Chain A
Amino acid sequence: MTDVPNIKIDHLTVQYRSKGSIVTALQDVTVDIPRRSFVSVVGPSGCGKTTLLKVLSGVLKPTSGDVTFDDQKLGEARLSGRVGYVFQRPLLLPWRTALENVALTSEIARKQMSAETRLAEAKRWLGLAGLAGFENKLPHELSGGMQQRVSLCRALAFNPPILMMDEPFAALDEITRESMQEELLRLWQATESSVIFITHSISEAVLLSERIIIMTARPGKVEEVLDVPFPRPRGEELRASAPFNELVQYIRHKLRQSQLGLAGAA
Chain B
Amino acid sequence: MAVKKIGRQTIKFSSPPSILTTASIVGPKEGQGPLADYYDEVLEDDLFGEDSWEMAESKLLKEAVTIAISKGKLKIPDIDFMIGGDLLNQLISTTFAARDLELPLYGLYGACSTFTEAISIGAVLLDGGFADKVIATTSSHFSTAERQFRYPLELGNQRSLTSQWTVTGSGAALLTSSGNGPVVTYSTIGKVVDLGITDVNNMGAAMAPAAANTIATHLTDTGRGPEDYDLIITGDLGKYGRDIAVELMKKEGFRIVKNFTDCGIEIFDDKKQDTHAGGSGCGCSAVVFCGFLYRQLILKKIKKLLLVSTGALFSPTSFQQGESIPGIAHAIAVEMKGN
Q: Do A and B come from one complex?
A: no
Interface residue ranges, A against B (CB under 8 Å): none
Binding site for A on B (CB under 8 A): none
